[in-house]
A and B are shown apart, each in its own frame.
Chain A
Amino acid sequence: MRDPDALLEVRGLKKAFGGVVALRGIDLTLERRQIIGLVGDNGAGKSTLIKIISGVYPPDEGEIQYEGKPIRFSSPMEARGVGIETVYQHLALIPQMSILRNFFLGKEMLRRIGPFGFMDFNDMRGICKEALEGLGIRVRCLDEDVSFLSGGERQAVAIARALHFGAKLLILDEPTAALSVRETETVLNYIIEARNRGLAVIFITHSLHQVYPVADRLVILEHGRKIGDFKRDEVALEDLTGIIRGTQTKDSS
């Protein structure tokens, strides 16, 4: 059954690494303006699933439809080109470069002087500041190196950048794993803001308690299978914990 409003649909996704089967046939539909909490134990296949969606790996089997069209990415660049942005914990910003330079890396704004293009720092500064403040991030000095920022601040910059450059699907793989409680809360706020702007967000975590309050939908993986897919409002946190512990098995409609 195809959902015409769906941003992304995957069907029968399978992936093995040598003898290790990471995904055993996953179906998943993502709608716009929705936060999906993707939960499951270590090794459940969460990262593999989103790496296929974001063009890092090709699937062994299965199909992907994006905005109604079948699609097969051969690189993360291609996925990014159509609006699928992934914020990895450590793979988002260049530590030795300033916030401003990172924000526009690969998409620098230029001002032409004769045949030469020079970076338009004034315009970039204004836009970067606006993009960060739009997420509620205070900006004092955009020229500071990213290496001086905390993990949460780095993610904030990466998320703001993704939003600014027109992401439609934002994927975060365990973004809060190394963050303090307060920083985690802040990152969750950014995710809500991204959803409110119309993005689909996949938020991976192995802490159900963390994602439950903010998610619109919860998808549970185990051993490469989807063992649950619920609207948040239709399921209680206790039931979900039960499913993850294996005391209950239940699938949604």
Chain B
Amino acid sequence: MPKRNASSAEWQGVTLLGINRRTTLQQKEMGVLIATIATGILFTIFARNFISWANLVTVLTMASELGIVAIGMTFLLISGEIDLSVGSVFATIPLIMAMLFVYHGISEWIGMGIALLVAAGIGYLNGQITIGTGIPSFITTLGMMMFWRGIVLALTGGRPVAFFGRSTLLAILGGLLPGGVRAVSIWFVVLVFILWLVLEKMRYGNWVVATGGNKDIARELGVNVRKVKLINFTLTAVLAGFAGCIQFARLGSASPAYGEGLELEAIAASVIGGTSLVGGYGSILGTFLGALLMAIIRSGLVLAGAPAYWYRSFVGAIVIIAVIINRKLGSGGSQK
């Protein structure tokens, strides 16, 4: 950090930035980091085998599918929009893939390609409707959440599509690596890295933050706000669809009932990680930790012998606590 201590006589100007109240990377993720460490300590004490390779691998696997959905959500939230249809898309896309592949004998690669294109189309449509009509994305995607859930239920008659054969693609997506690590964890970590890079280091990330921060100023300064939002809606849906495909690969089945409530978990992971619900502020690393924390809670409760029902209450409390910590640290546009 460049510091300058010139005598004030040389300067007529005001002193800018006297105090380093926040260097972006240091504090953005502080709330979730504290919460994760505290929860980790808690379970280390109360849950047997919490600190074990097997459990760490399990936690990462559980965090991954949710996390892939959540990092897309984070991008969208930062740009000032929301997508409640990710859970339905998470169910729809692998079903399209599975039906093409299992029922129609289409190669799984092409099947997934088509399915992800459909996901892109769904996200793009969410964006077009929201931007074109000016209605809030909360409404657009609430409608879409019900719409696509209904479509897949109708298409499948409510029955899952299963596949238990061998497939290179499915192994790449959801297979087991040495040491018990799931391929999905690798996908998650790679995607987190890429989206982090885009958000923090690339021009597009700057535009995303600016769009959610104040779209009028961003537009004035030459940011194509509309395009940024459309891209983010599309990205969110594609990532939700991709996460669904990964789950299909891991479980060998796609069900129209999967992904229910996932939209709220994805939003929770983002918010726990410090992302603002009103846009203009957020962190991919925070969301990574947020998803990890939620998985820690899930597995920790099981290992501690507590009924799984407690999971929701625990996560609910964490959402509130993490956001309070974030505010106390003075980070984020959420308080303005």
Contact = CB atoms under 8 A, between A and B. Distances in A.
Interface in B1-51: 1-4, 6, 11-18, 20-24
Interface stretch (A10-18, A32-40, A112-120): A112-120
Contact of A105 (B23, B202, B223): B223
Contacts of A140: 1-4, 15-18, 20
Nearest to A139: B16
Given A141-B17, A147-B336, A153-B14, 17 more contacts: A77-B222, A91-B217, A94-B214, A95-B213, A96-B276, A96-B333, A97-B209, A105-B221, A106-B207, A138-B4, A140-B16, A143-B22, A144-B17, A144-B20, A148-B22, A156-B16, A189-B13
Nearest to A157: B16
B166 interface: no
A237 interface: no
A147 to B, nearest CB: 6
A142 B20 CA distance: 9
8 contacts: A77-B222, A92-B217, A96-B333, A97-B209, A104-B206, A106-B221, A118-B197, A138-B17
B24 A152 contact: no
Interface residues of B, number: 42
B218 interface: yes
A195 to B, nearest CB: 15
Contact of B1 (A138, A141, A147): A141
B124 to A, nearest CB: 23
A126 B119 CA distance: 43
A170 B281 CA distance: 30
Nearest to B212: A96
Given A108-B206, A119-B202, A136 B11 contact: yes
Given A96-B333, A97-B213, A106-B222, A117 B203 contact: yes
Interface of B: 1-4, 6, 11-18, 20-24, 197, 201-203, 206-207, 209-210, 213-214, 216-223, 276, 280-281, 332-333, 336
A148 B201 CA distance: 23
A114 to B, nearest CB: 13
Nearest to B21: A148
A203 to B, nearest CB: 18
A105 B218 contact: yes
B202 A94 contact: no
A219 interface: no
Given A108-B206, A119-B203, A141-B17, A186 B12 contact: yes
A145 interface: yes
A101 interface: yes
Contact of A138 (B15, B22, B206, B207): B15
A129 interface: yes
Given A91-B220, A92-B217, A141 B281 contact: no
Contact of A94 (B17, B201, B210): B210
A98 B13 CA distance: 20
Given A96-B213, A105-B210, A139 B12 contact: no
Contacts, number: 138
A203 B4 CA distance: 32
A229 B258 CA distance: 73
A84 interface: no
Given A95-B336, A138-B13, A129 B2 contact: yes
A-B pairs with lowest CB-CB distance, top 4? A106-B222, A136-B13, A94-B213, A96-B333
B210 A143 contact: no
B22 A144 contact: yes
Nearest to A144: B17
B206 A137 contact: no
Contacts of A92: 217
B201 A139 contact: no
Given A97-B209, A147-B336, A118 B201 contact: yes
Contact of B206 (A101, A152, A186): A101
A74 to B, nearest CB: 14
B203 A110 contact: yes
* Residue among B11, B213, B333 with the highest chain A CB neighbour number at 10 A: B213
Nearest to A77: B222
B202 A118 contact: yes
B300 to A, nearest CB: 34
B333 A147 contact: yes
B148 to A, nearest CB: 33
A64 to B, nearest CB: 20
Contact of B281 (A96, A137, A157): A96
B206 A119 contact: yes
Contacts of A101: 206, 209-210
Interface string A157-197: 10000000000000000000000001100100100000000
Interface in A187-226: 189
A129 B16 CA distance: 11
A92 B23 CA distance: 22
A78 to B, nearest CB: 11
A131 to B, nearest CB: 12
A76 interface: yes
Contacts of B15: 138, 140
A97 B210 contact: yes
Given A101-B206, A119-B203, A138-B6, A93 B21 contact: no
Given A153-B14, A153-B16, A145 B203 contact: no
